[in-house]
Chain A
Amino acid sequence: MMRALSAEFAKLKRSRMILWTSLVVVGYTSIGLAVFPLVQKAQSGDVAMGTAGIGDVFAQAGITEMNWATAMKFIPMGVSGAWGIMLLSLVAAYVFGRELREGTDVATATLPIRREFVIASKMTVIATWTVYLCALAVIADVAVVALYMGFDTFAWSYVGRAFAETLYACLPIFLTLPLVGWFAMTRKGYLRPMLFALGTFMVANSLVGLEAASYVPWAMPIAGVGVTWMPVRGELGAASWLIAAAVFVVGMAVVLRTANRADLSV
């Protein structure tokens, strides 16, 4: 297993995909540079006037004023409403699909390493990549917020909580990634897995504000933390996590079956 894991990480050396995904996260966060003052103004104005509007929605989610604590809540909301599904799916499609694309699938399948270990290593790489992107999003957001608020009221606990909530938002998405990986294994190229991701992204966003979001793994981050234009303070119940876990198990099963059926290799 360690051989496969070490090799999977070594394959990423000089990979441009790491750069592209980092740029997307940083780019998305930098939008906050322009949006932050607008949100700050609209939100404080609405609350002050007591009018029903964006301010009420934010207030229901516990965001009644813009400070370090509330500003950092926008990071997990960015995951659920913006880059989470698409970017993590791209990572999964790349990690699983590159073998077929670069013609290394056959050589990998003839290695004296259990194919289950290769799959598990790929999922570990995706998990690590996910954690890295979450950390990067938090760091970038800290920089944006600091530009407007300075570090006077800053506390590391805000960073810790933001990181934890971002990981929390990513977890249900991560559990769906074996299915994306499976799409990437079945045919050369990233189009099919990314179309699948786009479909799930659209479904997830159509469920914003609906209770059903809690039971659709792709929409679970929306039910848990909301999206930037509709933050919520929700909690995902055991049933939600059971469904997400089931999707993960099914995804892993089809990936392993495909790998071990051999007619299509990893």
Chain B
Amino acid sequence: MSADSREVVIRTYGLCKRFGDVDAVRDLDLTVRRAEIYAFLGRNGAGKSTTIKLMLALLRPTSGSVEILGHRMEPNALRALERIGSMVEAAGAYGNLTVRENLELQRKMLGLRRGSWVDEAVELCGLGEYLDRRVDTLSLGNKQRVGLGRALLNKPEILILDEPTNGLDPAGIADVRALLKHLADDRGTTVFLSSHILSEVQQLADTIGIIHQGRLLEEIGYEELRQRNREYLEIRVSDLKRAAWTLEERCGVRDYVVREDGALRVFSGFDRAAEYTKALVEGGVSVLGSAMSEERLEDHFMRLTAEDERQPAIRG
């Protein structure tokens, strides 16, 4: 495998964050390279937002560190923050001010001179028709656009977004996707975004990081993932629990996942398909059907997280 020569712009070293007895983030080593779109995937509560807050020095790590653009992130890491745009959780804005005033306020705080900054952010985020409306009269989706506009105002080298499409309608989601693609492709902006909506990032990401229960399970280029897309044998059965037990005990199958939709997916030993079916039937499980198929990102994600849950002892 050839090493990626692009500059690393975000790196975390053994990042840990503990809240009381809960390990929200555990020993996280992330690498984000310039001009890529990095999708940080995880279920709700997996540790995505905590990781982003650690990156932006909104939280202090229990151990480990974050380096962005060569600067160690800690409160008042001003040099790095000047080159980063971010939107974390719900985008806040001052409700008593109009969209334009909010953006102007951000421009002032960023120390940017008057100029095209605000106009450009407005155009990129499609805020033109709302410019003179007070923010407290906007829908959640449009408030999200204002947050995005604020994040883009300083033409950041790195854009860090936590669930950026929350509250947006399908058209809004498509707009954001197109905008992020444009920023990465045409401006060389590095985009790091978290999401739990896999279909959303499937069309966008260059690299995918999967976090589960605070641990980074995998960091992989999307192209590599596609090439590695695994085939699987999907067996629909009447009793999932018994089927899983039967496959493990009688056929020695370990590389499989149990789906909630009444199917088992086996990722190896396809030439033994007939043997599996026979074992299942003999084990008292009705086989409703079986077919070969190919793994999508969602499947990959589900399998990886399910495997992780089956290995608590290894994690220690």
> Which residues of chain B have C-beta atoms less than 8 A from A99's C-beta?
92
For B97, list chain A residues within 8 Å (CB): 10-11, 13-14
Task: Say yes or no for A7: interface residue by CB 8 A criterion.
Answer: yes
Partner of B89, one of A4, A106, A259, A261: A106
The interface residues of chain A lying within 8 Å CB-to-CB of B110 are 3, 111-112
> How far apart sit A110 and B76, CA to CA, in the bound complex (Å)?
8
Asked whether B109 lies within 8 Å of A263 as measured between CB atoms, the reply is no
Asked if A103 is at the interface of the complex by the 8 Å CB criterion, the answer is yes
Evaluate whether A10 and B56 lie within 8 angstroms (CB atoms) in the complex, with A106-B88, A115-B76, A260-B76 already known. no
Is there contact, CB below 8 Å, between A16 and B75?
no
Pick the contact of B108: A7, A112, A260 (CB < 8 A).
Answer: A7
Produce 1/0 per residue, B297-312, CB < 8 A to A.
0000000000000000
Distance from A112 Cβ to chain B, minimum over Cβ atoms (Å): 4
Contact in complex: A10, B96 (CB < 8 Å) = no
Q: Is the beta-carbon distance between A263 and B94 smaller than 8 angstroms?
A: no
By a CB distance below 8 angstroms, the chain B residues around A7 are: 105, 108-109
B8 at the A/B interface (Cβ < 8 Å)? no
One digit per residue, 1 when the CB lies within 8 angstroms of any chain A CB and 0 when it does not, for chain B 95-115 equals 111000100111011110000
Asked whether B84 is an interface residue with its Cβ less than 8 Å from the other chain, the reply is yes
Residues in B whose Cβ lies below 8 Å from that of A262: 57-60, 75
Q: Tell me if A41 is interfacial: C-beta within 8 Å of chain B.
A: no
Binary interface encoding of chain B residues 55-76 relative to chain A, with 1 for a CB under 8 A from any of its CBs, else 0: 0111110000000000000011
Interfacial chain B residues near A110, Cβ < 8 Å: 56-58, 81, 84, 86, 88
* Inter-chain contact B76/A10, CB cutoff 8 Å: no
Contact of A107 with B150 in the complex, beta carbons under 8 Å: yes
User: Given the complex of chains A and B, what is the CA–CA distance between A41 and B91 in angstroms?
Assistant: 59
A149 at the interface (CB under 8 A from B): no
- State the Cβ distance, A189 to closest chain B Cβ, in Å: 15
* A1-20 contacts to B (CB < 8 Å): 3-4, 6-7, 10-11, 13-16
Please pick, from B75, B96, B108, B147, the residue contacting A107 in the complex, using a CB distance under 8 A.
Answer: B147
Interface membership of A146, Cβ < 8 A:
no
| Residue pair A115, B96 in contact (C-beta under 8 Å) | no
> Which residues of A (112-165) have their CB < 8 Å from a CB of B?
112-115
A112 touches B60 (CB 8 A): no
Cβ distance A124 to chain B, nearest Cβ, rounded Å: 15
Docked complex: B119-150 residues within 8 A CB-CB of A: 134, 147, 150
Quick check: A113 and B109 within 8 Å, CB to CB?
yes
Count of A-B residue pairs with CB < 8 Å? 95
CB pair B92 A112 closer than 8 Å? no
Q: How many residues of B contact A (CB 8 A)?
A: 36
Q: Which residue of B lies closest to A259 (CB)?
A: B75
Verify B58–A112 contact, CB threshold 8 A: no
Q: Is the CB of B91 within 8 A of A103?
A: yes
**With A3-B109, A115-B75 given, is the CB distance from A104 to B94 under 8 Å?**
yes
| A105 in contact with B96 given A114-B78, A262-B58 (CB within 8 Å) | no
User: Is B84 a contact partner of A13 (Cβ separation < 8 A)?
Assistant: no
B94 touches A6 (CB 8 A): no
* B30 CB–A CB distance under 8 Å: no
B71 → chain A, closest Cβ, in Å? Answer: 11
The smallest C-beta distance from B149 to any residue of chain A, in angstroms, reads 11
Report if A106-B60 is in contact (Cβ < 8 Å); known contacts: A111-B109, A115-B75, A260-B76: no
B82 CB-CB contact with A under 8 Å:
yes
Which residues of A come within 8 Å of B, CB atoms?
A: 3-4, 6-7, 10-11, 13-16, 98-99, 102-115, 259-263, 265
Of all A-B residue pairs in the complex, the 8 with the closest CB atoms, nearest first, are A103-B92, A104-B92, A112-B81, A112-B82, A112-B78, A14-B96, A7-B109, A106-B88
A-B contact pairs, 28 of them (CB 8 A): A3-B109, A3-B111, A7-B108, A10-B97, A11-B105, A13-B97, A15-B96, A102-B95, A103-B90, A103-B91, A104-B93, A106-B53, A106-B92, A107-B91, A107-B106, A109-B75, A110-B56, A111-B81, A111-B109, A112-B81, A112-B82, A112-B110, A115-B76, A259-B75, A260-B75, A261-B75, A263-B58, A263-B60
